[in-house]
Copies of this chain bind each other. A is one copy, B any other.
Amino acid sequence: MVDLVEIIGFVAATLTTIAFLPQVYKTWKTKSTEGLSSSMLFALLFGMLGWLIYGLLIYSLPIIFANTITLVSMFVLVYFKYRYKK
């Protein structure tokens, strides 16, 4: 039975992941990555990779769940950044 602590973690994970998706959608729709600085993208990318490794090491499902999804969306953003480079 997933305990209360994990439920809190999953609610937090879902909220911060959902908050991230409009940016990915907007970038996909507009094909523009204006305002998305490369340094920010790479800091987020490596930061989330770090969180994913940390989540695996302490075996925290919410951290693994949140960072797997946001990491995938980060790869999408980085792909757009270079695909639609102006």
Residues of chain A whose beta carbon lies under 8 Å from any beta carbon of chain B: 5, 8-9, 11-19, 22-23, 35, 37, 40-41, 43-44, 46-51, 53-54, 57-58, 60, 62-63
Compute how far the CA of A62 lies from the CA of B63 in the bound complex, rounded to whole angstroms: 12
Q: From B9, B40, B51, B63, give the contact of A22 (CB < 8 A).
A: B40
Copies in the assembly, this chain: 2
Q: From B15, B41, B49, B54, give the contact of A43 (CB < 8 A).
A: B15
Q: How far is the CB of A75 from chain B (nearest CB, A)?
A: 15
Inter-subunit contact A57/B8 (CB<8 Å):
yes
Compute how far the CA of A6 lies from the CA of B3 in the bound complex, rounded to whole angstroms: 23
Inter-subunit contact B16/A48 (CB<8 Å):
yes
